[in-house]
A and B are shown apart, each in its own frame.
Chain A
């Protein structure tokens, strides 16, 4: 099945429609404590979230009242003291990040998490381990580098979408260096230059910079934690991704992606296991870690 332009166009329209629908359903204000948004926006969001929650039946009345109160307190405090996030004397702060993201789909998400977890141990890990046993690490790292290099347009365009001209320039520099000296991206030559470090810009982050909130948290099959905004961003990014444009049939394309996942996993065996072993509630741990990491990426 080759991908014809008409189908592609339909796909884009569908994504756009979905995006509008979902973001209308879950406004930016859902995230009450997003510290990393610009100040003006934050105040506005806090107000929105207060209104939104009062109109939302899924919270109990009491919880709502407490939440709204907390929002107000946080807002006040933020004006005075921006980065003092674990203030000693003020324990109000201590609880500010508990609900970084709304999770109304928690039941479905938990099921999906359990499925992903099972698949990881039953399929991905054994396959990646066997693969890692056969293919030397140097080659596996080189493959990761090649994929990263090919995806240059995704990062470059998203830098531009976010108005980050200098960063876009660095991306271009990095791409040239690694494609030429690094031989089609096999070697990450740019790693030797401090200003040419990895910068993972994507469409989800672009949406965030444009002022769109996370929307509800979603656990994606195979792909792991995300939010409505970032999942749609991911989908959108595939259109900027040259791998999508390679004229091969659908299943070959899926095969390439699966191969990439196996390759990456083979270099990271043990990481998920350690995280999980350290957690009291792996689902909550991953949700929180994902949002914290995401906030950092958006701020960069």
Chain B
């Protein structure tokens, strides 16, 4: 009797959940599957055996499924974005992407043995959402790691990461602004090129 009841509930649960998942990934699902996939790749022995260039290529495809670098770059440059011509914009997106991928992969790897808790997702205005996750550190503390997403491109993509209240987009915006206040877009691109060469 009890068992049958439990079975019924299960079936109902599936009936409700399955169509939702088939429809479109929620922001939280997007982040969770994306991050898990990257983490899995990073800890894969076959991946570790690859050359650095191969590693970057593998990781960048995976990160690109989760991040919207066009949107991220545009938001980071803010008003300055319009001062870049189309060609400069394309190069900026490419270079900034390389820089961030390196940092993000490196940090993910450093924290890969720590538990990630996906807490909740908040819907913000104008097709934006925030996924709140926490890194559980070895000393029992939680580091808040929030992802900001937009559905501009048709599916949810990350455009900003906020760690302990520090927005990456805002942080880089300040730095870019400083460079652009005494230099041209070309100057900024040059600095980014140097940076990516050192990689």
Contacts and interface: CB of A to CB of B under 8 A. Distances in A.
Interface majority SS (helix, strand, loop, mixed), chain B:
helix
A277 interface: yes
B165 A98 contact: no
A293 B99 contact: no
Consensus secondary structure, chain A interface:
helix
B50 interface: no
B106 A274 contact: yes
A81 interface: yes
Contact of B78 (A95, A198, A288, A293): A95
A293 B165 contact: yes
Interface string B140-163: 111000001000000000011000
A79 to B, nearest CB: 15
Interface stretch (B7-15, B25-33, B171-179): B171-179
Nearest to A280: B175
B171 A84 contact: no
A212 interface: no
B110 interface: yes
Contacts of A280: 172, 175-176, 179, 191-192, 195
B110 A295 contact: no
Given A84-B126, A91-B79, A144-B139, A288 B170 contact: yes
A4 interface: no
B107 interface: yes
A289 B163 CA distance: 10
B160 A98 contact: no
Interface in A79-94: 81, 83-84, 86-88, 91-94
A267 B179 CA distance: 33
A278 B75 contact: no
Interface string A275-300: 00111110011011100110111000
A220 interface: no
B166 interface: yes
B139 A292 contact: no
A279 B174 CA distance: 11
Contact of A81 (B79, B110, B125, B176): B125
B141 A98 contact: no
Contacts of A141: 138-139
Contacts of B172: 280
Given A188-B141, A267-B139, 18 more contacts: A84-B124, A84-B125, A86-B169, A87-B126, A91-B78, A91-B79, A91-B82, A97-B174, A137-B138, A141-B139, A192-B140, A281-B175, A281-B178, A288-B166, A289-B171, A295-B165, A296-B165, A297-B165
23 contacts: A83-B124, A84-B125, A86-B159, A86-B169, A88-B126, A91-B79, A97-B170, A98-B173, A98-B177, A100-B174, A188-B140, A188-B141, A197-B142, A198-B141, A280-B172, A280-B176, A281-B175, A281-B178, A285-B171, A288-B171, A289-B171, A293-B164, A296-B165
Interface of A: 81, 83-84, 86-88, 91-95, 97-98, 100, 137, 141, 144-145, 188, 191-192, 197-198, 267, 270, 274, 277-281, 284-285, 287-289, 292-293, 295-297
